[in-house]
Amino acid sequence: MAETSVTIEFNLEFVTDPIGAVLDIAVPDAPSDAARQALLDNVESTMVGSRDNLVSQTVQRAHGRLERYAQRADDYNVEPLIESFDGVDATRDRTSIHAEWSWSHEAFRFMEFGTSDHTVDGDPVLVFEFDAGEYPYLDEMFPDGTAFLPQSDVSGLPESRAVRSSLNWLRREVGQ
């Protein structure tokens, strides 16, 4: 019997609207359909099916990096971002597996890419509650704890690269 080599095509794309990833794994040629399905079973289990599969490890890595980043960058609260993870959507057809995952929180992209210092304008005013201990100058102006301002200057965020780093990790794991 002639030897047949089986190729697995792996394609992982970083997407930004919303921030996330699209993974395609295909087995275009196989000696038989039974062999291909057996191989796809195996790949599906490793990538998305089994406990502690590679895609869920990738997501955990992105979350871990975001948490470490938040501790460095002024203890920013990233829990809402992490909770906005929409899960892994995986489908399979006769020759391939398709999986995608993303985070729906609109601030996620600002942490992934970083932001510059900017001014937020009110419409017509900004109304927000603040921690008096942390913002004594606001406490002086608004002793009841709620500020009313026409605009506010916000400092920029450094780039976290949380998702891009996690995808680089996944590419290494699958040996690409």
Locate the DSSP E strands across the chain.
Answer: 9-16, 19-26, 85-92, 96-103, 118-129, 146-154
Length of the chain: 176
Burial class (CB in 10 A: 0-12, 13-18, 19+), 166: buried
User: Based on CB atoms, which residue is closest to other proteins, 51 or 172?
Assistant: 172
- We find the least distance from the C-beta atom of residue 162 to other proteins, in angstroms, to be 11
Binding residues for other proteins, per CB under 8 A? 12, 14, 16, 113-114, 116-118, 156, 158, 161, 164-165, 167-169, 171-172, 176
User: Based on CB atoms, which residue is closest to other proteins, 95 or 165?
Assistant: 165
- We find the least distance from the C-beta atom of residue 77 to other proteins, in angstroms, to be 23
- Residue with structure tokens 């608004």? 142
User: Based on CB atoms, which residue is closest to other proteins, 16 or 45?
Assistant: 16
Q: Is the peptide bond before 31 cis (omega within 30 degrees of 0)?
A: no
User: Based on CB atoms, which residue is closest to other proteins, 95 or 168?
Assistant: 168
